[in-house]
Amino acid sequence: MLRSFRFFKFDFRGALLSTFVCTLICASIGLSAFAHAHRFHAGITDISMNPNTGNTEFVHTFMAHDVEALLENLYQRQFDLSDPEDVLVFKKYFEKQFVLNDTGGVLPLKWVGLKVDPNSVIVFQELEQRALPEQVSIRQAVLTDFLIDQVNTLNITKNGVTQTHTFTRNQREQRLP
């Protein structure tokens, strides 16, 4: 009788090994897919004049995952950018990394606010009652100190014409004519 059921004999060691190997393969595929999902690090800054207010507006967009990783790395804790205290920490970092200078010195950029969603962090700033000077030095180093391959694209729109500038770890500052 035992022989007839021998066909159904269960090998626990083999099953465990098979399960382990299958788990490793599935995890590798999953991690591989995750790694490929975020292969680049980029930020975009759009600068334009608002004719209704007379202010020059700055809209900076970054990947939320990159900003979270930066803050956790710098301060060794989790951040919640809906918490005003955590926003102040990020603001302090941001204002050191994005700076405009003209012949008179640092331009007074006003922090307008922050919008966060699962995919992006958007920072709003403005230069009140002033157009962007013709000659300006721009430092756009946000995340370049943390991510080696971070590329920040800056678009300046004046009179309907857009100029694009690229900032990287090796070129964090540019003087514009």
Q: What is the pLDDT along the chain (177 residues), one digit of tens a residue?
A: 434 434 334 443 444 334 343 443 444 444 433 444 457 899 999 999 999 999 999 999 999 999 999 999 999 999 999 999 999 999 999 999 999 999 999 999 999 999 999 999 999 999 999 999 999 999 999 999 999 999 999 999 998 999 999 999 999 999 987
- φ and ψ at residue 38, rounded to 5 degrees: -135, 70
DSSP annotation of 131 reads: P
CA nearest neighbour of 102 among 12, 177, 5 = 177
Task: Quote the CA–CA distance of 48 and 167 in Å, as a whole number.
Answer: 18
User: Element (H or E) spanning 93, and its range?
Assistant: helix 84-97
What tokens were used for 84? 């005003």
Dihedrals φ, ψ of 14, to 5°?
A: -65, -40
Q: Is-contact 158 165, C-beta < 8 A?
A: no
Whole-model pTM: value is: 0.78
State whether residue 147 is helix, strand or coil: coil
